[in-house]
Amino acid sequence: MKKPTQHFPGIAPIRFEGPGTDNPLAFRHYDPAERFDGRTLEEHLRFSVAYWHSFRGTGGDPFGPGTIQRPWEQGRDPLAVAKVRLEAGFEFFQKIRSPFWCFHDRDIAPEGATLAETNRNLDKVVAHAKALQKATGVKLLWGTANLFSHPRYMCGAATNPDAHVFAYAAAQVKKALEVTLELGGQNYVFWGGREGYETLLNTDLKREQAHLAAFLHMAVDYAKEIGFKGQFLIEPKPKEPTKHQYDFDVASGIAFLRTFGLEKHFKFNIETNHATLAGHTFQHEIETAAAVGMLGSIDANTGDLLLGWDTDQFNTDVRELTLAMLSILKAGGLGTGGFNFDAKLRRTSIDPEDLFHAHIGGMDAYALAFKIARRIIADGQLSLFVADRYASYDSGFGRDIERRKTGFRQLDALVQKKLGEPKPRSAKQEYLENLLARYLH
């Protein structure tokens, strides 16, 4: 048998060597086999590689073309190149020890002259992906459709003023759902691409939002029809590419889903850089989704504090990730979701090896944050502090407030006849920040 080509020669599967190692191509904190509560770290964290950044990203920016040239990008037949690229991808997923991957339909297969030809291209590449998944054991965390790159979608897909474009997008998502099912995808993501607007001078906001809801209802119906049981996820982002994205943040997403009766069918895929673009912390978005039982999955990345756009960098900020992990663990984990590295190399990081450094850094930071968060939870000091802060609601009139068993008249009488003036209590933020620092260092 022909030995398969090595696309990353000289790089062996990454091993865990512990915090003391000085090997830059080893994990210091992520030991996939380490067990916690009867499950391995690999099973807890469910890391995923984002195909679009790591295998379609070229480093292009508005000021210049791509800088990254991969050795496997050879030949004139786009379908043949797509298949070899996929082999490089699966070699990478295996070597970086990622149990999952994620893709957009158009990342993996080229568009043809007609939708039928495009779908045929996709089928051929999906058959190859299925074989590679089987051979390597790497699974699909989620699939999605690219409804934003092609010029036909310049004014949106489901929110396009032209019903013809809506119909085209529906056909595309129909196919994307079918291939996600074919590949055993555990979730399906709707990120709002160009579902938003630039100016209200040309936009009927009310109709566009209703169209988006109609589109999502059709997706729910079709998933049911074909037997796709994966979790549907909305990925909020406040701006970019449009000035006003409809899925601004988790809170506006919840309101949208509830307004249109979709809340039972969706959870959220929360991306760190999207949270901060919306003026929130990563942890805020996680808590907001978890509070209504809609925490689904994470797009793991980070922005740059000094830049106002979606820089999609790998996140190595253990403090930020520890806080996020605390909220995720408190919520009972991500279920069918995982941590997908929706992050890209800097334009100047042009070596294939840089893909390894980037993911090792991200995986180690999440693994360390997971362990620290577990220690914080086991220790209990932080949760005891918070519980104690709300203790007045655990009994008496406080409990009546929570259970809606009292009202303004009773509370007024209580304050005037018995309680009098409340005694302020310190919220102790600095004490708590120091407590957190104790776990981190």
Query: Looking at the annotation, which residues are catalytic?
Result: 104, 107
Place of tokens 């850094």: 361
Which 136-195 positions form the footprint of ligand XUL (CB under 6 A)? 144, 189, 191
Beta carbons within 10 angstroms of residue 394's beta carbon: 11
Q: Are 295 and 267 in contact (CB under 8 A)?
A: yes
Interface size with ligand XUL, residues (CB under 6 A): 11
What is the rounded distance in angstroms from the CA atom of residue 429 to the CA atom of residue 323? 15
Closest to ligand XUL by CB, 96 vs 233, is: 233
189 φ, ψ (degrees, to nearest 5): -105, 140
**Count of CA atoms in the C-beta half-sphere (13 A) of 191:** 26
* 299 near ligand XUL, rule: CB under 6 A: yes
What is the rounded distance in angstroms from the CA atom of residue 250 to the CA atom of residue 252? 6
Site string for ligand XUL, 340-379 (x = CB under 6 A): --x-------------------------------------
Distances from the Cα of 71 to the Cα of 56, 352, 405, angstroms: 13, 9, 69
Binding partner of 144, given Co ion, ligand XUL, none, CB within 5-8 angstroms per partner class: ligand XUL
To the nearest whole angstrom, how small is the minimum distance from the Cβ of residue 100 to ligand XUL? 14
The residue within the footprint of ligand XUL, chosen from 85, 237, 280, 284 (CB under 6 A), is: 237
**Which among 158, 122, 146, 140 has a CA at the least distance from the CA of 52?**
146
To the nearest whole angstrom, how small is the minimum distance from the Cβ of residue 281 to ligand XUL? 18
Of the chain, the end-to-end C-alpha distance in Å amounts to: 52
To the nearest whole angstrom, how small is the minimum distance from the Cβ of residue 308 to ligand XUL? 14
Site string for ligand XUL, 308-347 (x = CB under 6 A): --x-------------------------------x-----
Closest to ligand XUL by CB, 144 vs 186, is: 144
Closest to ligand XUL by CB, 288 vs 297, is: 297
Report which residue's Cβ sits closest to ligand XUL: 191
To the nearest whole angstrom, how small is the minimum distance from the Cβ of residue 122 to ligand XUL? 16
What is the rounded distance in angstroms from the CA atom of residue 212 to the CA atom of residue 160? 9
339 φ, ψ (degrees, to nearest 5): -105, 105
Beta carbons within 10 angstroms of residue 136's beta carbon: 14
Binding site for Co ion (CB under 5 A): 271, 299, 342
Binding partner of 237, given Co ion, ligand XUL, none, CB within 5-8 angstroms per partner class: ligand XUL
The residue within the footprint of ligand XUL, chosen from 235, 287, 320, 364 (CB under 6 A), is: 235
Binding partner of 189, given Co ion, ligand XUL, none, CB within 5-8 angstroms per partner class: ligand XUL
Is 191 strand, coil or helix?
Answer: strand
Strands of 192-256 (E only): list them: 196-197, 231-235, 244-245
Binding partner of 310, given Co ion, ligand XUL, none, CB within 5-8 angstroms per partner class: ligand XUL
To the nearest whole angstrom, how small is the minimum distance from the Cβ of residue 208 to Co ion? 22
Which tokens is 302 given?
A: 């980070």
Beta carbons within 10 angstroms of residue 74's beta carbon: 10
Which 395-434 positions form the footprint of ligand XUL (CB under 6 A)? none
* 271 near ligand XUL, rule: CB under 6 A: yes
State how far Cα 110 lies from the chain centre: 24
To the nearest whole angstrom, how small is the minimum distance from the Cβ of residue 310 to ligand XUL? 5
What sign has the CA pseudo-torsion 90, 92, 95, 96? negative
- Using only C-alpha atoms, what is the Rg of the chain? 24
Binding site for ligand XUL (CB under 6 A): 52, 104, 144, 189, 191, 235, 237, 271, 299, 310, 342
